[in-house]
Structure 1
Amino acid sequence: MSSLAARVEAFLAGAEFDRGPWLAVAFGCGIGLWFLLAGTWQWLTVIAGSLVVAFAAIAAWRGRENRSYALAALLSIALGISAGTALVWARSATVGAEPIPYPRFERIDGRILAREEQPAEGRVRLVLAARDPETARAVAYRGNLPLEADGPQLREGARIRLSARLMPPSPPIVPGAYNFARRAWFDGLSATGSVVGDVELVEPPAETLVSIAVIQRRLSAHVRRNLDGTAGAIAATLASGDRGAIPEADEEAMRDAGLTHLLSISGLHVSAIIAATYLVVLKLLAAWPWLALRVRLPLVAAGAAALAGIGYTLLTGAQVPTVRSCIGALLVLVAMALGREPLSLRMVAIAAGVVLALWPESLVGPSFQMSFAAVIAIVSLHNAAWVRSFLAPREESWLSRLARRAAMLFLTGLVIEFTLIPIVLFHFHRAGLYGAAANLIAIPLITFVSMPLVALALFLDLVGAGGPAWWLVGQSLDVLLAIAHFFAEQPGSVKLSPRIGMGTMALYIGGALWLALWQGRARLWGAVPIALSTILIVTAPVPDLLITRDGRDLGIASQADRLLVLRDSGGGYAQQNLLELAGTDREPMAIAAWPQSRCSPEFCVLPVERSGKTWSVLVARNRDLIAERALAAACGKADIVVADRFLPRSCRPRWLKADRRYLQREGGVAVYLDRERVDTVAQDQGAHGWWRAPRR
């Protein structure tokens, strides 16, 4: 044991163990365990077990004269895990909103808490504070209001009456799909729906109320008045964070080209604002000799840049990527002011810790994961010795220096792209593969052309002279859109993936963190789990059957590499999810149109061949009455029966009966015939508050 302990100490010393980043990792692991584990006794076991380990490490540390890396690591990790699990549990208990028990039509008398304009969707999204008519408890509802029913008085603080179709926040439609119910739980939403009919204004908002949201909307509207089309919508996004006016086709092109991050106010935008403010203030103040001789100008410039960064963060909605970027940029300013190294993993760890302490639920969202993965990749790359040597100042021509910087920018984009692809595939099931090349052009365009021009145009608008600047903004953003469409439309530009397992992602994230946080040769061991997870991602199996939670939509992977769907819904939400999780973008085919299907007005029967075995699938097409004896006979000949109705006990297929009773209990279903495995949404939800399965 003493020999093993000595080896551990030697390894930690050689790998330059730093407790700061690993403490943040352990904190995040504790939060992740709460989401992953099913119930109260498991969460208590994690907290208690971690505290026992921490006390044991403290006891072993007493009386030691020399520092112990192993005990320091053990203590940090144990405390981080227990704190993370306890914090997210406490936040869930305090902010979680109980969903309404069933869909219903309701007359609502409430006050507007938030308003989000989405002209591209033809609607305004309102969040209302009201009273539940059944329980009299305070609740928050989110409703979509058609643009034609909108009015200037329908803003924050107004009290209104309206009728709405409400439904509980939706859990994943099938395993691996987006879990809106979880997000709604932490956002405090009890129901979502759509407004029906006219809206009655009971009490107008306070005339003196000028909030950040109001300023944001006014700024966005001002930008769109000066610049039409998608360019105006993107300019409004850069100025205020409002993405509601960007057309779906252009947003999809930006996503497939790997440029979506330019539409989400995050590190690039905040850093550009802070850096520009720092340089402008520093240069202007340096022109005043009296002040320059008496005041430390970098401190003044850093303070002005910090205020600009905080103001921009608040103005653009204070989303997680923006807050993370603002915190990181402020830490960089502090480090520069103190003469410390600004780009360090310890700085990233502090930013991550602050964000997780405020919003622990953000850990499981794509925004947090992608933001910090990109930042960790950048910092780790630029802290490598060979990169520092490559970028070190030297005597060379401006052309060589420019080429060196361009090569480093491309390499950084490539590293970020490889880092983010597994995370993007895990959450969205599709990722652009040419992002490094697209970003090589798009990032300098946005940073050094579009954003300064937007700022210049807004400044010139104060004296009514912003027209020429807005024209230049439009031209630059048209170039950005052309870049996005060019790369998105290239052959092989998009990688599609079916559901990726949680174990695969844990393997990848663990390997990536090992590679990033250790120093020396020890870090190379992180390449092993990364390689294994990459193989698992590439070979992830496609579900043979995907059944939505209501049983009304069904996808079957056919031998023709096309998804067979029950209803030809023309690209609706359910069908889009089925296509994504089947890993295909080919046009689906209706089951009834498939030559091997045999359909009556009530049911379809079709064979599905897998690994030399033919499975018979019986699918209900509607809820029309059918003789029980005939139904029982048809069920007896089928291996799998799928129906959005309650089927009688006499319906007994040979393997799986996915009727309404089963789907209400288990949620959406993914079936793998080769392995004879059935994955359901309920398997991943546990006893968390946002999951309310009917009692058996």
Structure 2
Amino acid sequence: MGTPVAICEIPSPGGPGTAALQHGPWTAEGLLSRVLAVVERFLSNAGFERTPWLTVAFASGIIAWFWLSSVLSWIGFCCGLIAVSATCYASFPLRSSYPHFSRAIMVLPLLAVAGCLAVWVRSEIVGQPAIERPVAGSFIARVLAIESQPALDRDRLLLAMRDPIRGVPIKVRLNVPGKRSAAGIGRGDLVAFRARLMPPAPPMLPGAYNFARTAWFAGIAATGSVVGDVKVVREFSAGAWALSDIRQTLTDHIRVRIGEERAGIAAAFVTGDRGNISEADDQAMRDSGLAHLLSISGLHVSAMVGAVYLVAIRLLALSSWMALRVRLPVIAAGAGALAGVAYTLLSGSEVPTVRSCIGALLVLFALALGREPLSLRMLAVAAFCVLLLWPEAVMGPSFQLSFGAVLALIAVSTSEPVRHFLGPRDEGMIARAMRHIALLLLTGAVIDLALMPIGLYHFHRAGVYGALANVVAIPWSTFIVMPLLASALILDIAGLGGPFWWLAGVSVDVLVGLAHWFASRPGAVNLLPGTDAWAFMLFVSGGLWLGLWTGRIRWAGFPIAAIGVLLLAMAPPADILVSGDGRHVGLVENGGNQLFLLRDSKGGYARDNLMEFAGIEAEPATLDKWPGARCNPDFCKVPIERSGKVWHLLMSRGRDSVAERSLVAACEHSDIVISDRWLPRSCRPRWYKADRGSLANTGGLAVYLGKGRIDTVAQTQGAHGWWHSSPFHVRENGPSTTN
């Protein structure tokens, strides 16, 4: 047997497969050369689009930066990939014998390195360290932005001020209770207020929403709520309105003309402002699979750009002079592009909107050149542009849902069976319409199946009837709701918009009623507990293979995606859920049908997170109702049986002092101890102790007793700037309970 050598050192100057003959068919070199020859033939005959895979490599580098835990690992990742690329470039025999394979080995690692460096650089540029600890007091700040949220009975201010501890400039996001509570405040004003400022909250549980990461990339160092009134110290007289001012004025105009109840949905279509949408309507839109209609993205931008393009080309065609001397598609494409950019800026320039705008501009460019407008290359370029500007978007559900939907749409519409199904044939109008309706249902079902695992992974719930609901809702929104709103706004210039506002209100009522009807159907919502990220990555990998390849080879990705979905669906809920401060503990009944809470709360963020992560919608019960539980005002002791073993859990829930001897004895008879207090070192349970000190370093916990595994928030955060180990400050003489 010969000594194995690196891929890039295999000499095969005679072309693919000759190295196997030189080294012998059964040596390591020969077997490896045969494998490379098969891969090379596959790549040369596949006829696939290369651009999407370049974007996938770039995104993979970004994801690697989030998943790797330290600066050394980021540097090692980049250096290792650069070494692979450089070594293969230096190997002329490999490049000459396996050109497609060697080109992939040289280019894809470099793009992954570029993605890693892009998000690293952006994190260093825009990331803002959080304030060191909670602070309460009186402050003076400059107003940067105002967001009205009447549905939540508050306004939200984005402020610039000085860090009360370090004295450096920071951005702060504050909630001001009360409807229209910030009505007398303008952008740029200097305001004074009393508030309690907190560092942006990390995930409450492993895998939960990471607001601290979102705030880091938004440059927000603190959040909080105002106590009392906000007083304007000095007004700011701007020479011209900003886009945010125009957006708010337009939202207020819509609210006045269409009414408070309908203003939320109507404003979401026009300006992207969702602050007026009631919680019940918002939940119904999510459960019915229609929530994407409330986020200005592909549907809205495409409708705007398409309408302007068609109107412009029809009007220009009325002039014979223009039609004979000017390329009308180019002029119409320019008008559509201007409309799309203006709509994107006006609606707040969120990531889905920017992605859709870039995609629409590429489609218009293709139309102007007479090229195929809907393609994987167009989608890849749009995704690359978004990731270059906002690399952190790849980790969020908005980016994944948006691009996943378009990828599924392109994969279906460009597949050979669909092309044959839609091919020209001698048939009547009704038969042709039925074929298009059938394709619409098929496309909706495929998109729903593609997006459901993404929704379940991020939100732990997803609608089942989305395909059917969208068959009605998308045409209704595109051809009825949006044109009526646009007509009403345009006619309001002449004071003639009244009838159109009434019709627009009726159309919004129909859309909301449709959402509530589908959301209330039996089995309309799937629930899923918190699960392993590796299962989700399997699904994404298989889905990308299905969507980006053409021909039969694409079906090789189906079993990979199916295994990922199966692992997601079969993931058991955690047995014990513990918040990062130790105050909120949830125990999941064996079978995952009931959640028991340590503290009785009728609502709130903590309760909702525990229910969501457990994948349980039923009303939770208090812990004293757990079979065998023994509770007093200070502690609860609960037996939990899993896999034939009984675990004894001790949890604190009071503030009164407890004799150390009694506490030590209770700890010795417990397997797990959970407390929001600082417990003495003498408290030593048989397996695990989670008290205020340890939880400050680990964050929230998800305990799987059957597997003997404890997942922590800290495991997924690493050395990234938004994660700081302890919100408490430990002094030599003991802890300081600053929060």
- How far the C-alpha of 1:599 sits from its partner, in A, is 1.2
Q: Distance in 2 between matches of 1:256 and 1:530?
A: 24
Deviations 1:213-249 (A, max 9, x none): 0111111111111112432221111111110000001
Is 2:537 the counterpart of 1:513? no
Q: Distance in 2 between matches of 1:290 and 1:199?
A: 61
Is 2:401 the counterpart of 1:362? no
Matches within 5 A, 1:427-446: 427-446=458-477
- How far the C-alpha of 1:202 sits from its partner, in A, is 1.9
- How far the C-alpha of 1:62 sits from its partner, in A, is 8.5
2:594 aligned partner, one-letter code: R
Is 2:389 the counterpart of 1:373? no
1:522 to 532, 544, 553: 553
Task: Name the structure 2 match of 1:538.
Answer: 569
Deviations 1:497-518 (A, max 9, x none): 1112111111111111111111
Is 2:85 the counterpart of 1:37? no
- How far the C-alpha of 1:211 sits from its partner, in A, is 0.8
Q: Distance in 2 between matches of 1:39 and 1:283?
A: 58
- After TM superposition, the score normalised by the length of structure 1 is 0.98
Is 2:360 the counterpart of 1:329? yes
Is 2:592 the counterpart of 1:592? no
Task: Name the structure 2 match of 1:664.
Answer: 696
Are the aligned partners of 1:61 and 1:71 in contact in 2 as well (CA < 8 Å)? no
Are the aligned partners of 2:257 and 2:501 in contact in 1 as well (CA < 8 Å)? yes
- How far the C-alpha of 1:624 sits from its partner, in A, is 1.0
Residue 628 of structure 2 aligns to a residue whose secondary structure is: coil
Task: Name the structure 2 match of 1:310.
Answer: 341
Task: Name the structure 2 match of 1:604.
Answer: 636
Q: Distance in 2 between matches of 1:17 and 1:404?
A: 29
Task: Name the structure 1 match of 2:189.
Answer: 158
1:391 to 393, 418, 422: 422
Q: Distance in 2 between matches of 1:650 and 1:550?
A: 21
1:578 aligned partner, one-letter code: L
- How far the C-alpha of 1:59 sits from its partner, in A, is 2.6
Moved over 4 A (4+): 61-67
1:279 to 307, 310, 326: 310
Q: Distance in 2 between matches of 1:260 and 1:440?
A: 14
Are the aligned partners of 2:145 and 2:158 in contact in 1 as well (CA < 8 Å)? yes
Which of 141-150 and 674-683 deviates more?
141-150
Which of 553-562 and 580-589 deviates more?
553-562
Contiguous gaps of at least 5 residues in structure 2 = 1-31, 731-739
Residue 349 of structure 2 aligns to a residue whose secondary structure is: coil
Matches within 5 A, 1:394-413: 394-413=425-444
Is 2:481 the counterpart of 1:450? yes
Task: Name the structure 2 match of 1:191.
Answer: 222
1:417 aligned partner, one-letter code: D
Are the aligned partners of 2:668 and 2:683 in contact in 1 as well (CA < 8 Å)? yes
Deviations 1:454-473 (A, max 9, x none): 11111111111111111111
Q: Distance in 2 between matches of 1:60 and 1:282?
A: 55
1:346 to 373, 377, 383: 377
2:265 to 230, 234, 253: 234
1:481 aligned partner, one-letter code: V
Are the aligned partners of 1:185 and 1:689 in contact in 2 as well (CA < 8 Å)? yes
Which of 614-623 and 446-455 deviates more?
614-623
Task: Name the structure 1 match of 2:125.
Answer: 94
Matches within 5 A, 1:191-230: 191-230=222-261
Task: Name the structure 2 match of 1:655.
Answer: 687
Q: Distance in 1 between matches of 2:639 and 2:577?
A: 15
Are the aligned partners of 1:669 and 1:679 in contact in 2 as well (CA < 8 Å)? yes
Which of 72-81 and 368-377 deviates more?
72-81
Deviations 1:331-369 (A, max 9, x none): 001011111111111111100110000000111011111
Deviations 1:616-644 (A, max 9, x none): 11111112111111111111111111111
- How far the C-alpha of 1:65 sits from its partner, in A, is 6.5
Are the aligned partners of 1:149 and 1:198 in contact in 2 as well (CA < 8 Å)? no
Are the aligned partners of 1:53 and 1:74 in contact in 2 as well (CA < 8 Å)? yes
Residue 625 of structure 1 aligns to a residue whose secondary structure is: coil
Residue 411 of structure 2 aligns to a residue whose secondary structure is: helix
1:547 to 578, 584, 601: 578
- How far the C-alpha of 1:649 sits from its partner, in A, is 1.5
Q: Distance in 1 between matches of 2:161 and 2:212?
A: 19
- How far the C-alpha of 1:594 sits from its partner, in A, is 3.6
Residue 134 of structure 1 aligns to a residue whose secondary structure is: coil
- How far the C-alpha of 1:479 sits from its partner, in A, is 1.1
Residue 146 of structure 2 aligns to a residue whose secondary structure is: strand
Q: Distance in 1 between matches of 2:321 and 2:253?
A: 40
Matches within 5 A, 1:247-262: 247-262=278-293
Are the aligned partners of 1:542 and 1:583 in contact in 2 as well (CA < 8 Å)? yes
Are the aligned partners of 1:153 and 1:205 in contact in 2 as well (CA < 8 Å)? no
Give the superposed CA RMSD.
Answer: 1.6
Task: Name the structure 2 match of 1:246.
Answer: 277
Q: Distance in 2 between matches of 1:148 and 1:324?
A: 33
Q: Percent identity?
A: 51
Q: Distance in 2 between matches of 1:76 and 1:502?
A: 27
Q: Distance in 2 between matches of 1:139 and 1:30?
A: 30
Q: Distance in 2 between matches of 1:149 and 1:18?
A: 52
Q: Distance in 1 between matches of 2:125 and 2:504?
A: 45
Q: Distance in 1 between matches of 2:619 and 2:148?
A: 32
Q: Distance in 1 between matches of 2:443 and 2:304?
A: 21
1:683 aligned partner, one-letter code: Q
Are the aligned partners of 1:19 and 1:72 in contact in 2 as well (CA < 8 Å)? no
Q: Distance in 2 between matches of 1:226 and 1:553?
A: 45
Q: Distance in 2 between matches of 1:79 and 1:595?
A: 57
Q: Distance in 1 between matches of 2:89 and 2:309?
A: 45
Are the aligned partners of 1:362 and 1:368 in contact in 2 as well (CA < 8 Å)? yes
Task: Name the structure 1 match of 2:649.
Answer: 617
Residue 190 of structure 1 aligns to a residue whose secondary structure is: strand
- How far the C-alpha of 1:149 sits from its partner, in A, is 7.3
Which of 686-695 and 368-377 deviates more?
686-695
1:677 to 701, 705, 709: 709
1:8 aligned partner, one-letter code: V
Q: Distance in 2 between matches of 1:393 and 1:156?
A: 57
Q: Distance in 2 between matches of 1:511 and 1:558?
A: 33
Are the aligned partners of 1:19 and 1:76 in contact in 2 as well (CA < 8 Å)? no
Task: Name the structure 2 match of 1:583.
Answer: 615
- How far the C-alpha of 1:75 sits from its partner, in A, is 2.0
- How far the C-alpha of 1:395 sits from its partner, in A, is 3.4
Which of 91-100 and 193-202 deviates more?
193-202
Q: Distance in 2 between matches of 1:597 and 1:191?
A: 40
2:177 to 140, 143, 146: 146
1:680 aligned partner, one-letter code: T
Are the aligned partners of 1:227 and 1:474 in contact in 2 as well (CA < 8 Å)? yes
1:467 aligned partner, one-letter code: G
Are the aligned partners of 1:153 and 1:204 in contact in 2 as well (CA < 8 Å)? no
- How far the C-alpha of 1:323 sits from its partner, in A, is 0.2
1:4 aligned partner, one-letter code: V
1:60 to 91, 103, 125: 91
Q: Distance in 2 between matches of 1:5 and 1:595?
A: 61
2:723 to 665, 682, 691: 691
Task: Name the structure 2 match of 1:288.
Answer: 319
- How far the C-alpha of 1:153 sits from its partner, in A, is 4.1
Are the aligned partners of 2:545 and 2:554 in contact in 1 as well (CA < 8 Å)? yes
Deviations 1:465-506 (A, max 9, x none): 111111111111111111111111111111111112111111
Aligned length: 696
- After TM superposition, the score normalised by the length of structure 2 is 0.92
2:305 aligned partner, one-letter code: I
Q: Distance in 2 between matches of 1:44 and 1:500?
A: 29
Residue 220 of structure 2 aligns to a residue whose secondary structure is: coil
Q: Distance in 1 between matches of 2:668 and 2:259?
A: 61
Matches within 5 A, 1:489-508: 489-508=520-539
Contiguous gaps of at least 5 residues in structure 1 = none
